[in-house]
Each structure stands twice: as structure tokens, then as C-alpha cells.
Structure 1
Amino acid sequence: MSHPLEPIYALQKKDRRLIKILREIRDIPQRKSDIEAQLSGSKQKLEMALDSRKHTEATLKEQELGAEVLNEKITKYKNQQMEAQTNDQYRAFVKEIGMAEDEIKALEEKEIQLMESLEQGKAIEAECKARLDEDMAGIADELAELDARAAELQEKAKHMKADRARAAKSCDKALLQKYTRILNNKRDFAVVMVEPGGHCGGCHMKLPPQVTNDARNPTKIVACNFCGRIVYNPAP
């Protein structure tokens, strides 16, 4: 008389292989994230270079707008100067024009400095972009390999699930439900062999002699008194 645990034990072997495959599939996204995290330093440096360049451009634009406003003031003052009624009014416009021209000169000097900073910033940005591209190229092969591995595992898991479903049909339904419940709970083994010396193959605790004997009886399904796993003791 065959033991009803034989097909269950065979099914468990398939499940163990399937669980391993599914675990690897589940871990691949994290492995990819870990690899991509290597780019964080290069990405951060590029972002800082971009922000610095944009800030310099914005400041330069402000200086240019400021110079335009001052030039408009100078034009206005010169027109008013031509209409001055007294020497004091004339001298006042000369003073205003001179102050505006001094401000423009200061702005132009600052613009020169900003333009130099902008060119330096663009060079740094290009360098950071090149470094990021180089780093990305370095991990591209690793990411491609992981994608290929994921596709391979998905296909393999598909066939293993179909094979598992066929094997489950030969198992006792009630026993299959019990096995599935224990496997989901223990996450490793639901059915374990009785080890030499009468120990549980799951928790390795010493089993009572009666449990050891009953585990060999095909008419009985017994569990470990300590871990609750089904114990199987096939005849030699």
C-alpha cells in the first residue's frame, strides 16, 4: 500500500523549486534598484551643476534688464536736460546721468563676471553629464542581464506552475489543503522526514516513539508535537 504522503512529498519538491524561482523573480527589481543607486552621486552632481547654471543665467538676465532700465533713464534725463530752464536744473540732470552711467558700468562689470561663471558652469555641467553617461553605460549590461534573467525565470515559472498543477491532481484533496496551509505558514517545509534517532526533520526535536511509528503507517497522518509539520517516515 502506497503512502498518501508520497505524492504530497513529491509535490513539495516541485513547490520548493518553484518558490526559489519566484523569490528570485521578486528580488530582481530590488537588485536593479541597488545597481541604479550607484548613479545617485553622479546624478546629484549633475543636478547641482544644472541648478547653478540656471541660477547664473537668471542673475545675468536680471543684470541685463537692470541695465536696460538705466539706459532708459539716461535717455529720459538727456531729453529733460535739453529743456532745463536753469543751470541748477542742468547740473542736476548731469549728476543723475552720471550716477546712472556709473551703475551701468558696475552692472556691466558684474555681467562680465557672470558670463565667465556661466561658461565655467556649462563646462562643469558637461563634465557631470559625461560622467553620468559613462556610469550609466557601465551598469547597462548588468541591468540588461537582470531583465533577461527575469524573462527567463518568468517563462520557467510558467511551466513549473503547470507541472505543479498536474502533480497536485494526484494528491488527496484534504491532505493537499492541510499541506498548503502548513507550507504557507512555515514558508519552508510542510512535510518532513523523520531523522535518524527519531528527530523531526523540521525543528529537529525528539519525536515521541508513537509519532515515529505512526508516521510510517499509511493509514495515519501525524504531525510533529513541536512545530506542527507533517512527519513522514517511509518504510526502508
Structure 2
Amino acid sequence: MSHPLEPIFALQKKDRKLIKLLREIRDIPKRKSDIELQLSGSKKKLEMALDSKKHTEATLKEQELEVEALKERVTKYKNQQMDAETNEQYRAFVKEIGAVEDEIKVLEEKEIKLMEDLEAGKAIVAECEEKLSHEREGISDELEELDERQAYLEEKVGKMKADRNRMAAECDKQLLAKYMRILQNKKDMAIVLVEEGGHCGGCHMKLPPQVVNDARNPTKIVGCNFCGRIVYNPPYGG
């Protein structure tokens, strides 16, 4: 007389493989995210370099506008100087023009420094972009492999589920329902073999002798007193 747990025990082997494959599929997005996180440092450096370059450009533009405004003042003073009626007025315009031209000189020196900083900033941005591009190329193969692995696993899981459903149709409905409840609760195994020495193959606790004997009887379905899993003790050792 065959044991009614035999087809469900065979089904469990299929389910365990499915659980393993589904867990791997579920973990792939996290693995991809971890790989992409490798770029976070380079992305941050590029963002900082771009912000610094943008700030330098804005400051340089402000300096240029200020210099332009000062030059317009010089032109205005020179026009007014030509209309000076006394030497004193003339000398006053000369003094004003000199002061403004000194301001222009200071600002132009700052402009030169800013332009040097801008060129250096552009070089840093280019370097960061090149490094990021190189790193992206480096991880693209890994991401592609994971995508291919996911597609392969999903196809395999689809076939295994179809096969699994055929196997489930041959199992006792009540036992199958009980098996599914325990499997959903335990997440790993619902049916366990009796280990050497009469221990539960799930929680490894010592089973009562009666449970060990009943686990071999095809007319009885028994569970572990400790973990609640179905205990199976086939004469051939599973």
C-alpha cells in the first residue's frame, strides 16, 4: 500500500525548487540597485563639480556686468570733464575717473582669476563625466547579465508551475490543503522525514516513539508535537 504522502512529498521537492527560484527572481532588483549604488559616489562628485562651475560662471557674469557699468561711468565722467569750466572741476573729474579705473583694474584681475577657475572647473567636470561614463560601462554588463538571468528564471518558473499544477492534481485534496497551509506558515517545508534517532527533520526535536511509528503507517497522518510539520517516515528512508 502506497503512502498518501508520497505524491505530496514529491510535490514539495518541486515547490522547494520553485521557492528558491522565486526568491532569486525577487532578489534581482535589489542586486541591480546595489550595483547601481556603486555610481552614487561619482554622481555626487559630478553634481558638486557642476554646481561649482555654475557658481563660478554666475560670479564671473556679475563681475563682467559690474565692470561694464564702471566703464560707462568712466565714459560719462570723461564727457563731463570736457565740459569742465574750471581747472578745479577738471581735476575733480580726473580724480573720479582714476578711482573708477582702479576699481575696474581690481575687478578685471578678479575676472582673470575667475576665468582660470572656470577653466579648471570645466576640466574637473569633464574628468567626472568620463569617470562616471567608464563606471557605467563597467556595470552595464553586470546589469545585462542580471536581466538575462531574470528572463531565464521567469521562463523556467513558468514551466515548473505548469508541471507543479499537474502534480498537485494527483494529490489528495485534503492533504494538499493541509500541506499548503503549513508550507505558507513555515516558508520552507511542510512535510519532513524522521531523522536518525527519531528526531523531527524540521525542528530536530526528539519525537515520541508512537509518532515515529505512526509516521510510517499509510493510514495515519501525524505531525511533529513541537513544530507542527507533517512527519513522514517511509520504509525506504525517503
Whole-angstrom CA distance in 2 between matches of 1:43 and 1:30: 19
Unaligned runs of 5+ in 1: none
Q: Which residue of 1 aligns with 2:64?
A: 64
CA offset digits 1:69-121 (Å, max 9, x no partner): 11222223233333444444433333222222111111111111111111111
AA aligned opposite 2:61? K
- The corresponding residue for 1:74 is 74
1:133 match: 133
Q: Which runs of 5+ in 2 are unaligned?
A: none
User: Quick one: percent identity of the two aligned structures?
Assistant: 76
* Distance in 2 (alpha carbons) for counterparts of 1:182 and 1:85: 109
The answer to whether the aligner puts 1:52 opposite 2:52 as a matched pair is yes
Could you tell me which residue of structure 2 aligns to residue 90 of structure 1?
A: 90
- Which whole-Å CA distance do the structure 1 matches of 2:51 and 2:63 have between them? 18
- 2:5 is the alignment partner of 1:5: yes
Which AA in structure 2 matches 1:66? E
Partner AA of 2:206 in structure 1: K
- The equivalent residue for 1:15 is 15
Shift of 1:212: 1.2
CA RMSD in angstroms comes to 1.6
Partner of 2:218: 218
* Residues 1:118 and 2:118 are matched in the alignment: yes
State how far apart, in whole Å, the 2-side matches of 1:183 and 1:9 are.
12
TM-score normalised to the size of structure 2?
A: 0.92
Q: Where do 1:146-161 residues align within 5 Å?
A: 146-161=146-161
79-88 vs 126-135, greater mean Cα deviation: 79-88
How far apart, in 2, do the equivalents of 1:88 and 1:174 lie?
Answer: 116
CA positional deviation for 1:42: 2.1
Residue deviations 1:199-219, cap 9 Å, x none? 111111111111112112222
Q: State the Cα deviation string for residues 10-38 of structure 1 (Å, max 9, x = none).
A: 11001100011011111111212222222
Match of 2:106 in 1: 106
2:53 maps to a residue whose letter is R
* Structure 2 residue identity aligned to 1:229: R
1-structure distance, mates of 2:54, 2:91? 42
Letter in structure 2 aligned against 1:43: K
**CA separation in 2, counterparts of 1:144 and 1:195?**
44
Secondary structure class of the residue paired with 1:194: strand
Shift of 1:9: 0.6
SS of residue in 1 equivalent to 2:171: coil
